[in-house]
Amino acid sequence: MTAPGPVVTQDYAASELEAQPRPQGVAQGNAFTRFIGRTPVHIAIIALCLIWLIPTVALLVSSFRESQAVAGSGWWTALTPPFEFTLSNYDRVLDTNNLGQSFVNSLFVSIPATIIPILVAAFAAYAFAWMEFPGRGLLFMLIVGLLVIPLQSALIPVLQLFVSVRIGDQTLNGTFLAIWLAHTGFGLPFAIYLLRNFFGALPREMFESAYIDGASPVTAFFRLALPTSVPALAALAIFQFMWVWNDLLIALVYLGGQQSIAPLTVTIANLVGSLGQNQQLLTAAAFISMALPLIVFFTLQRYFVRGILGGSVKG
């Protein structure tokens, strides 16, 4: 369980967020004294959970309040009657601040930038896991090294590259294609690393018997490796999607300043400086950007956790 390097665990079932009932050690005493003995633990956990929830709840409550109310009284006052909630902040940011368009742009950036790197990585990961070739260990170590390369160190030359490539009358820079390519390049080391660990953990006998039956590596990859790695692929997809959706830096640099193709993160970061008196609109804007990741988080949490446990992290 405590594999060195980025954590690799074989038994994912034991490591997800679901509660793992385990026999408790404090066996002495009856149920009542045990409960009293645990009280500090309960208090600590509940206090920490409240502290962790307050910032998000504050934002959520504020986003449904009138602007005068936000400016004049704390969000907590809205939790007691009379309840005066409104959707006006959402109406305004969606209408006048281009948030609707940005939401679509974010989807435009995120979906291809999730699919392409996973596909490219899967073949490389399979080669690393199940094919013999000279320099395999060394090359994979290069991938492990690249996991932590700050993308800042690649930012400007890639920008110059995009500017120098022309498609028709415009450069590659400032197009969706540029940002898909950039996210694919920057996301690959993690994707290869994660998938290689999952593929590598598959039973050797499975592939051996397939090869004895005359299957080619292509067949083994599509019929055995991919279907048995669906959870890993899902984990990677969620991770990459969240990473791209929440990214600010790459979008800021490669999509230029054009409002028409800016994703949510860029639009909202710009609103921080430009809203002036209407700061409360930021609450609605921020919540719009959080909505999709939160839905993904709540529905696919276990895969997200798997992605974290199966690889190291990028960021």
Residues of span 123-152 touching another protein by CB under 8 A: 123-124, 126-128, 131-133, 136-137, 139, 141, 143-150, 152
Q: Is 279 helix (H, G, I), strand (E, B) or coil?
A: coil
Residue 62 vs 240, nearer CB to another protein: 62
Are residues 210 and 224 in contact, defined by beta-carbon separation less than 8 angstroms? yes
- Per CB under 8 A, does 211 bind another protein? no
Distant-in-sequence, close-in-space partners of 258: CB < 8 Å, separation ≥ 6: 174
* Closest distance of CB 81 from another protein, Å: 19
| Contact mark string toward another protein, 161..200, x via CB under 8 A | x--------------xx--xxx-xxx-xx--x-------x
- Per CB under 8 A, does 311 bind another protein? no
| Contact mark string toward another protein, 73..102, x via CB under 8 A | xxxx--------------------------
> Beta-carbon neighbour count of residue 309 at 10 Å?
17
71 vs 309: CA distance, rounded Å: 43
Closest CA to 283 of 158, 151, 99, 156: 99
* Closest distance of CB 308 from another protein, Å: 5
* Closest distance of CB 87 from another protein, Å: 19
Amino acid at 247: D
Amino acid at 288: I
Contact window for another protein (CB under 8 A) among 81-89, 92-100, 154-162, 227-235:
154-162
How far apart, in Å, do the first and last CA atoms of the chain sit? 24
| Contact mark string toward another protein, 222..251, x via CB under 8 A | --------------------x--xxxxx--
Instruction: Work out the angle at residue 33's Cα, subtended by the Cα atoms of residues 27 and 37, and round it to the nearest 5 degrees.
Output: 85
Amino acid at 263: P
Contact window for another protein (CB under 8 A) among 40-48, 79-87, 90-98, 229-237:
40-48
Contact window for another protein (CB under 8 A) among 87-95, 202-210, 228-236, 299-307:
299-307
Residue 231 vs 293, nearer CB to another protein: 293
* Closest distance of CB 39 from another protein, Å: 11
Contact window for another protein (CB under 8 A) among 4-12, 86-94, 202-210, 229-237:
4-12
- Per CB under 8 A, does 203 bind another protein? no
208 vs 185: CA distance, rounded Å: 33
Residue 35 vs 206, nearer CB to another protein: 35
* Closest distance of CB 32 from another protein, Å: 17
In the chain, which ranges are continuous DSSP H helix? 31-63, 67-72, 88-96, 99-130, 136-146, 152-164, 176-200, 204-212, 217-219, 226-228, 230-246, 249-254, 264-274, 281-310
Residue 87 vs 291, nearer CB to another protein: 291
Are residues 191 and 311 in contact, defined by beta-carbon separation less than 8 angstroms? no
Closest CA to 249 of 170, 312, 315: 315
- Per CB under 8 A, does 17 bind another protein? yes
